[in-house]
Amino acid sequence: MLRHKLIHPQISAILAAAGHHSTVLIADGNYPAASKRGPRSELISLNLMPGVPTCDQVLEALLSAVPVEAIQTMETETSGPYALEGDPPVWDDYRKTIKEAHLDLDLQPVDKWKFYEAVSTADHVLTIQTADQQRYANILLTIGVRMD
């Protein structure tokens, strides 16, 4: 019986096999998960219906299960049809979830194309496709070291 919030057996198995510096992408419903992922990354589709589950819900479950040393987000565009002024509202949700997990980590916005490059490395072990409809909800976790 697991004591943390994450109970998905396949995700748990992938995380158990992952090590320091492995990355996990929590992808929103618009992310091209079939083509933008690492060569050894497994894809888990949790997209049940629009908005269920959200990236933040998946983040909460993952933070209960593995140590995380860095969290990157896809930087917002400042012009064009997807432009936003300031941070996307979902980033405030992430900050709250990170704080509630007792982690002292800041979100690290990364240029869209550099984000895709980071996800395309051999260190990328898992993509979890959600049905989150919020813009710029993609979040890349770097697994840290267990200290206890």
> What value, to the nearest 5°, has the Cα angle with vertex 97 and ends 81 and 95?
55
Residue 34 in this model has a pLDDT that exceeds 70: yes
Domain residue ranges of the chain, discontinuous segments joined by +: 9-143
Structure confidence by residue, pLDDT tens digits, 67-109: 999 999 999 988 889 889 889 999 999 999 999 999 999 999 9
pLDDT at 53: 97
pLDDT over threshold 70, residue 127: yes
Tokens of 148: 């206890």
pLDDT tens figures, 36-73: 999 999 999 999 999 999 999 999 999 999 999 999 99
Percent of the chain with pLDDT over 70: 99
Q: Quick check: 1 pLDDT over 70?
A: no
CATH no., domain 9-143: 3.40.1650.10
Average pLDDT of the residues of the chain: 95
CA distances from 12 to 6, 8, 66, 100, 130 (A): 7, 6, 9, 21, 16
